[in-house]
Structure 1
């Protein structure tokens, strides 16, 4: 009887287990479905570069589009403090603290290559779509994804104020610019506008460098080899020209007390006749409400030879070498620069020009068309300030340009000491 009862219990238990699928838990694998546990989203941190043109909304909209197309990747956006010429100082702090972002934008690439912080970008079919990408390589390796041309040595001018001062043609030489400035000042019109922060150094560089670099397109490379110096006669003459514009009262009073965003608005409000700035300004001009037309001309040189400075394939996207998700980071960096809609939107937002082998075109304003024609009618650009002129300059040179420009404007430094300080900075930071 006991044996019969035990046998019945075994049969009943087997039936119950069979009804439950023969398992004692409910995990997907044990249900016989062969399902893998759902993969977690990966998160990458992106350091964005915010400007009046490239706004928070601009980046957030692109991030949403990327995340929608790549549901397994989440992008966390961060940004450096305002009023700096680039994010280098911010990124150096993050690197030192171990919080370097997965994707960085608009950084001085050489600086972070030297710090062994950036991932080498594979030269694949995507990269091969970019014109002259080889020029941005460092020791035969690519670290930055960019496909833009950005003329920078431009002077925008208020056509209405020029007419009021009786100026009928745009200046081509230093002497012609000074003559125009004198006519404007005689009409109580501020001839030139600049600002503090990085803007002063930028103004100093674009007002002087074209005269130097048009005759030596590898000046920075020669400086590394000690063939040239900032204290050479041609640089001191160019810096003296800049200093003379200040001494004659041609720049706006209190320039160093305002920043880039404010001086842009000063020009758009008609508070000054000429505004040295890069092509990105034309994006703000295209949507501004004003009662005058804006024109543009290449920054004058000593002898009147027209020559543009700017960036080619610079200011792009780089990936951290120690990213925990390098494939996702690289995918995002490529999307931001090379996705056709993102690329076209970037060009239009910041008034840039495509440097793809099959360039994408966008609807340009009349002013942007003028810039494009200047670009087409000039020799290939070289850089200035912290951009390549034969070679990328020593790290941080932009900050030294800023100090020299601001101190000369304040009257706290003469030209000789200013140019000497640039040489001293270079020699100290030349590794």
Structure 2
């Protein structure tokens, strides 16, 4: 489940992913050449750089000379926070990437249900609200993946194909630590909580796909659920040194680099890690297996829509914005570019893949399902931040019981 935070004009809240530049909005709806300017809040990551977005948008501008597309980089705040800031200033952007509409904020976005092309986009109906399509995307990601250093596994005598349960996973960590490796790479920022979701959701939501729906209805709790054993496993890894407490001081990019440099043996991350391994020319040195669970194996893959877009309802150029989003999610070359840039997948579309990308595709092919938290199964807004907080509390002395209770207390306070 990858949610990326950006930076907006000297405002810094809820940091997640680094960005080196910031761009602020303005009322300039036309440039000096008289072209319509579309402002797009974009997701900046090690893969989806400012250079990447500018190049992608330039393709559209070439075939639409009357349109100028202006990417806006939000840096260390969420895309949603950037949108809220712009709307409050009376300066709405036209399009936002990486925002998931909820029942509470759906009115901010244009209803695309009457657009015939929207119905054929990936996972569109899973993300619909009351039958209305606000969000469209390019592909899908899977995220319950464990990437591993092949050389480390060989040195430690660990066979990745034999790791199916959480106990076997923990045993492998012990062998890897004895062989001189940090067993499992993590980081601070958003990574801690997201890795826990990638791990625990695969098991819990495969066993009960409606668990989050039941939590929304108050029928189940974290403290009395399958999440507790995963919290206990995670806490035991901290206590035994399998997870480095100092890793909380690392950024997402730092943690990724540490794994790519061979300093750690395993890395829980989504399919979007593959392009980073490819760029570092390390793909052949890295393997991947589906997340072990305390239940059925293989489990469903926790996943989500990739490269999602919404059109802002107050856009001054709504028709042009809708046309641009249509191009982003239906033009075959635009689709291939976005899939390849972030290691994502879409039925009917292929692109040259590395050995590691091919292995990820095999994991997806064997997965019994792709688990998506959306619609009625979408957690309360702010849950990912609270989960991150509670998982990080395990590093500073909290118990698994404390974390589960903290999640219940927070959830109950929001309803």
TM bucket normalised to smaller:
0.7 to 0.9
- The CA distance in 1 between the partners of 2:376 and 2:371, in whole Å, is 8
Pair 136,389 (structure 1): closer, same or farther in 2 beyond 3 Å? closer
Q: State the structure with more CA Rg.
A: 1
Partner of 2:69: 75
Gaps of at least 5 residues in structure 2 are 1-31
Deviation readout 1:257-309 (Å, 9 max, x if unpaired): 11111111101100000000000001111121459710001111014621133
C-alpha distance after superposition, 1:133-156 (max 9, x if no partner): 222210110001114121101010
- 2:378 maps to 392
1:52 corresponds, among 24, 39, 46, to: 46
After superposition, the C-alpha distances for 1:333-378 in whole angstroms (9 at most, x for unaligned) are 12222211110011111000014xxx21111111111111111111
Residue 414 of structure 1, aligned match among 379, 386, 399: 399
Q: Which residue of 2 aligns with 1:270?
A: 262
Residues 1:293 and 1:390: Cα distance change in structure 2 (over 3 Å): farther
Q: What is aligned with 2:121?
A: 130
1:35 alignment partner in structure 2: none
Separation in structure 2 between the aligned mates of residue 269 and residue 91 of structure 1, nearest angstrom: 36
Aligned to 1:352, what secondary structure does the other structure show? coil
Match in the other structure for 1:200: 192
Paired residues of 1:219 and 1:389 also in contact (CA < 8 A): no
Instruction: Confirm or deny: 8 A CA contact 1:144 1:316 kept in the other structure.
Output: yes
Q: For the Cα contact (< 8 Å) 1:46–1:77, is it kept in 2?
A: yes
Distance 2:288 2:329 in 1: 27
Q: Which residue of 1 aligns with 2:214?
A: 222
1:55–1:162 CA distance, 2 compared to 1 (3 A): same
Report how many residues are paired: 383
Residues 97-116 of structure 1: matches in 2 within 5 Å? Answer: 97-110=89-102, 114=105, 116=107
Unaligned runs of 5+ in 1: 1-37
- Tell me if the contact between 1:46 and 1:103 (Cα under 8 Å) persists in the aligned partners: yes
Q: CA RMSD in A?
A: 2.1
Query: Which residue of 299, 308, 311 maps to 2:303?
Result: 311
Equivalent of residue 389 in structure 2, options 403, 418, 425: 403
| Range 130-139 or range 261-270, more displaced | 130-139
Q: 1:381 aligns with which of 367, 370, 373?
A: 370
Distance 1:178 1:367, change over 3 A: same
Q: Does 1:360 align with 2:349?
A: yes
1:212 alignment partner, SS class: helix
